[in-house]
Structure 1
Amino acid sequence: MDATDESHSDKTLTRLRTALRAAMRHRDRAAVSGLRSAMAAIANAEAVNITGAPPAGAIETSPVGVGSTEVARRMLTHADVHAILETEVAEREQAAEGYASRGSQDQADRLRAEATAIRDALAS
């Protein structure tokens, strides 16, 4: 990942945070829920894969000291962040269709509002 790509993903996260603050000020529950969920999805994608980690051993062989077990989070590209957000939008729209087809229009509307909030933050 180059510096330009990193700055684009940082700008996207900044836009999400700005949109979240605005939604909270306007008490827009659906937007707050959707934006928080989208930011959590990005944070989860940045988590380090631990499948290759060595098994736990005896306490006396464990690393000690501040930060001795810290691992850098994965760096996501702008394309990665964009794909995660598009997936979040698509999942909400698909679920909204399912709710609407079963007559739960209120839940469908809430999911569509969440999808719109994420899409708007992505587009801005």
Structure 2
Amino acid sequence: MRASLRDDLKAALKTRDRVAISALRSALAAIENAEAVPVDQPPVAAAGSEHVAGAAAGLGAAEAERRHLTDADLRSIVEREVGERSAAALEYQRLGRDDEAARLRAEAEVLNRYLDPA
């Protein structure tokens, strides 16, 4: 799913489709955020510098392993993005901001394409 999101983002950038660009960038950012190492996870102990406490030595020694997401996790993230946009669109419509509501509905529709079984 991630590869198709990235490929479609490239195509949207070429065609300057602002709605698709916004939706796809947001979904990819949400996926990247979900892969981040949790803050409460203790750092991996590595051989460091004798001069600086807690320093990591060597190329990539300070890099943390990112979480691996399953296809179900990716689908859940995209579903949440669609839900947030739909809820925000309802709120904008309630406030009389039909232009913003229409934009958010269009973004939700772009992301809905990745949820439909192919």
Give the TM-score normalised by structure 1. 0.81
Partner of 1:22: 11
Q: CA deviation at 1:59?
A: 6.3
1:38 aligns with 2:31: no
1:82 aligns with 2:71: no
Unaligned ranges ≥5, structure 2: 44-49
Q: CA deviation at 1:122?
A: 3.8
Percent identity among equivalent residues?
46
SS at match of 2:61: coil
The alignment's C-alpha RMSD in Å is 1.7
Task: Please say which of residues 22-31 and 88-97 is displaced more in the overlay.
Answer: 22-31
Partner of 1:9: none
Q: Select the structure of larger CA radius of gyration.
A: 2
Q: Which amino acid aligns with 2:68?
A: M
Q: Which amino acid aligns with 2:3?
A: T
* CA distance, structure 1, for counterparts of residue 102 and residue 20 of structure 2: 12
Q: 2:87 aligns with which of 87, 94, 104?
A: 94
Partner of 2:46: none
Of structures 1 and 2, the one scoring higher in RCO (CA 8 A, sep 6+) is 1
C-alpha contact (below 8 Å) 1:38/1:88 kept by paired residues: yes
* CA distance, structure 2, for counterparts of residue 52 and residue 68 of structure 1: 16
* CA distance, structure 2, for counterparts of residue 94 and residue 19 of structure 1: 24
Partner of 1:51: 40
SS at match of 2:29: helix
Q: Which amino acid aligns with 2:83?
A: A
Between Structure 1 and Structure 2, the one with more helix by share is 1
Partner of 2:47: none
C-alpha contact (below 8 Å) 1:99/1:105 kept by paired residues: yes
* CA distance, structure 2, for counterparts of residue 84 and residue 59 of structure 1: 43
Deviations 1:57-98 (A, max 9, x none): x96121222111111100001111100000000000010010
Q: Paired residues, what number?
A: 110
Give the TM-score normalised by structure 2. 0.85
SS at match of 2:113: helix
